Structure 1
Amino acid sequence: MYGYGYGPENGGYGQSTQPSINWSTVLRMIRQIMSRESIDELTYDYLKCLSNNEKDEQLMDQMLEDERKHYDTLRRIYADITGQFPELEASTITIPDSYEDGLGSLLERKSRTVQLYVYLYLYSPVQYKGLIYPLLIDEQIHMQLINYLLIRKLFSQIF
């Protein structure tokens, strides 16, 4: 169910106290989330080109800007912990067959990203929790906005 190796069986989610800090786990999660944020940024940018609706493009611009802020925040946290910026591989995306397919796969990715943010929040030292929590909330809001965009698109095809 947990799929990322951070679940209850590994001393993570569900504990009533702060787990001891495993810095390599925290840094690995930060890199994973940064990679996901980078791919999401490219996906939003691509989907904006497929959208034929100004309101959809504005919402995607907002989410795109959030992704950039998330990436920068995580990058600063990583550098604060290690003294150096993370090295990540260049991100690539799989081109969706349609606008709707792109939104659907983005929604699925976001649900997994939210899980990673929850684990990062649980495993992180107290001084970083105040920086991580708003990112987690933003991702949940993005999921709602993507749902909204999907529903709008589907209703526009019906009516």
Structure 2
Amino acid sequence: MGNYDYSGYVPYNYGYTSPYMSGMNASNMQGGQQTADIFTFPQNLPNALDLIQQALAGETEDRLFYSWLIENAPSDEDKQIISGIRDNEIGHYALFRQLYSEITGVMPQQVQGEQFVIPESYCAGLSRALLGEQNAVVKYRNILYAMEFREHINMMIEIITDELRHGILYSYLYTKNGCRG
């Protein structure tokens, strides 16, 4: 879950070069500065593999976090929603392992992730979860850009749409429980 960087926002159309934008190269411009083309395969594959390993590294911390949220949830509905999200995340872990091994031909190495830090409150935990889902979508979108095969693209779309749905569910719980930032 960790620290959040809000400055990494990339506009929806970042990287898209419209055929109507003659002479402009939007695919490598951001804020007037030259950037790597995130849509170019296979040049972006090493970064995607690093991001997959980062996603796998957070597994232990994530499981502790979800357990804490479930234990501190004030209602059965909250517990059921968070349990469903946790179960989806366990499935994502398996998909990331499969992706990594199919792309590289080797199983990913176990890497230690961040240390679990107990949230100050249930609402603070929901806030952390909501921001974590948002940050995951940004990272996972970059992995998606590096996928070459339809099966891998479909796996990433499943993971990303689950993360978006999780964000909506956490937002619902945050509002339902009267949390304030």
**Shorter-chain TM-score range:** 0.7 to 0.9
Specify whether residues 112 and 37 from structure 1 end up closer, same or farther in structure 2 by C-alpha distance, changes over 3 A only: farther
* 2:37 aligned residue: 11
Higher helix share: 1
* 2:8 aligned residue: 2
d(CA) in 2 for partners of 1:68, 1:40? 9
Contact 1:38/1:71 (8 A) holds in 2: no
d(CA) in 1 for partners of 2:117, 2:104? 32
Give the letter aligned to residue 8 of structure 2.
Y
TM-score, with length taken from structure 1: 0.83
Q: Which has the larger radius of gyration?
A: 2
Contact 2:65/2:116 (8 A) holds in 1: yes
The match for 2:48 among 26, 34, 43 is: 26
Specify whether residues 91 and 72 from structure 1 end up closer, same or farther in structure 2 by C-alpha distance, changes over 3 A only: farther
Alpha-carbon offset, residue 29 of structure 1: 1.3
What are the Cα deviations for residues 70-125 of structure 1, in whole angstroms up to 9, with x where unaligned? 00000011111222221221553111010000110111111111001111111221
* 2:91 aligned residue: 69
Aligned length: 148
* 1:99 aligned residue: 122
Report the identity percentage.
Answer: 24
List runs of 5+ in structure 1 lacking aligned partners. 13-17
TM-score, with length taken from structure 2: 0.74
The match for 1:113 among 136, 148, 162 is: 136
- Kindly report the root-mean-square deviation, in angstroms, between the aligned alpha carbons of the 2 structures: 2.1
Q: Displaced runs of 4+ in structure 1, greater than 6 A? A: none
Contact 1:38/1:67 (8 A) holds in 2: no
